[in-house]
Chain A
Amino acid sequence: MKSKLLVISLAGLLLLTFLPSNAVAQFLQLPPAPPPEQYGNILINRNSGNYGVKPVVFSHWLHRMKYTCRVCHLELGFNFQASTTLITEKANREGKYCGACHNGKIAFGITKDNCKLCHNGDISSGKSEFARLETLPKAGYGNGIDWVKAVEDGAIKPKGSLDGNYKTVPFKKKLTYEVEWGDIPPAVFPHKAHILWLDCANCHPGIFNIEMKSTRHFSMDEMVNRESCGVCHLTVAFPLNDCRGCHRR
């Protein structure tokens, strides 16, 4: 029994230490990694196609330079799954969803000339803008940018709220999760890095309960299925390929 455990732990250790990350990705069946300037870009097509309009391209990296996740995903009510939010042109024109900013005041408005800026169906659009991110701290995965460091260093100052009326709860507790696979370092969860971007209610209690030790275990399989950490750390926040992003000594 003991030797079996040892073999598994060794295998795990090998997997993380020596194998290139694409092997990890293959093992975990992670989605293919898009080029950095496309990471976090999504096509929204809940209703556009039905009206003969091209799907909307939405670029997370472009928006997160100026606003935190909570502005859209809490204040404006955007879901965490593409094409499930009931965005309509009417709602936008009434100042909801995209229209809360895209009104010609905060950001470009909904005019005939501007349709194509969003409704272009091109997931790689905005590529030329990506050069603006060159000065930000680098990372190995996702957009190739260490977004948390970028905020901490003051390289970007994303707004935490549209009305400026929001103060983060200063909850900075660091959580550590032991890994069942022997020698893989524990996963470290810093509240501090997350509250830079998110509201408590973005994660609690919908995605994570708040009762200590009530989540029996976090499995990588769940995350690959876009559950728990995978709600963000698969398509927008640094991807699961970046093992050391969480599993640290």
Chain B
Amino acid sequence: MKRGTLVILILIITGSLAFASSMGVLKRRPLPDEYGNVFMNNYSMKNNIAPVIFNHWLHRAKYTCRLCHVDLGFAMKAGATGVTEEDNKRGFYCGACHNGKEAFGPKEKNMFGKETKNCARCHSFGQGPVLEKDFYKFTKEFPKGRFGNGIDWEKAEQEGKIRLKDYLEGVSIRRKPLSVPKDFDINAGAAHMPEIIFSHRKHAVWNGCEVCHPEIFDVRKGATKYTMSDIFSGKYCGVCHGKVAFPNLDCQRCHSKPI
């Protein structure tokens, strides 16, 4: 199981980056419970502990993307944050929540004072099923989506199936919300290809402004030029779509303006 899983995970993680070198064949798609899972092994194996498997699906059912990727400073690329145990203990990154208050901490005491270690709940690669929540049970009531996790996350939020926390006491600082720009069309640049309807409103629910602007997308209208190939190779929209947000397979979900 281990070698196979490792291969699959690496495939998922490097997924859209690797496509250029594997042209001509079709890759296996990740299973719904694998989609958006991130394999983190900057320091784990060097320190003789199993690598971390971070599952986006469980976290995004409770928190906005913005909370971790802006307030906590997580990079948008697996492994690029370089989280250390020391960081977590000082209350940064994972440790901002995984401290025994907001979420389980590294150690827990039960009512009789018996201590249990929670290491394997995150350092779970190759450790068998250790998650408290089973993906399929947890997401059973969520509206179904076509690809990725098989969940329509946008709808799940709209319908109140999930409530996203966007503020973490002691970390986040509230600002007055900015007005959300109107939806606009993006030219697809090819005849017969429907234009893209981009909705700031839908994105802002999860991302605020800061996840995308100004680093991924310039704020000046039309200043960022990109192609579908850039997106497929994990840039621009592809920073999220294809890894965590609904994948690029779902062409019509963006290319949706009637011709």
Contacts and interface: CB of A to CB of B under 8 A. Distances in A.
A136 to B, nearest CB: 28
Given A200-B251, A201-B248, A201-B250, A173 B190 contact: yes
Interface stretch (B59-67, B100-108, B119-127, B191-199): B191-199
A113 interface: no
A79 interface: yes
Main secondary structure of the interface of A (DSSP, over half): loop
A227 interface: yes
**DSSP class of B's interface residues: helix, strand, loop or mixed?**
loop
B29 interface: yes
Interface of A: 74-75, 77, 79-81, 84, 166-167, 169-173, 199-202, 205-211, 214-215, 222, 226-228, 231
Contact of B251 (A79, A173, A199, A209): A199
Interface string B172-200: 00000000000000000011111000000
A227 B192 contact: no
Contact of A231 (B25, B146, B191, B232): B25
A206 B259 CA distance: 26
B228 A75 contact: no
A207 B252 contact: no
Nearest to B28: A79
Interface of B: 19-20, 22-29, 146, 190-194, 227-229, 232, 248-252, 255, 259
B149 to A, nearest CB: 13
Contacts of B29: 77
Given A173-B191, A206-B25, A228-B24, 4 more contacts: A173-B190, A173-B192, A206-B26, A207-B24
A201 B249 contact: yes
A48 to B, nearest CB: 20
B193 A169 contact: yes
A184 B135 CA distance: 55
B154 to A, nearest CB: 16
Given A210-B228, A210-B229, A169 B26 contact: no
B227 A211 contact: yes
A214 B22 CA distance: 14
B19 A205 contact: yes
Contact of B255 (A166, A169, A206): A169
Given A171-B190, A173-B190, A205 B26 contact: no
A165 B190 CA distance: 24
Contacts of A74: 249
Nearest to B24: A227
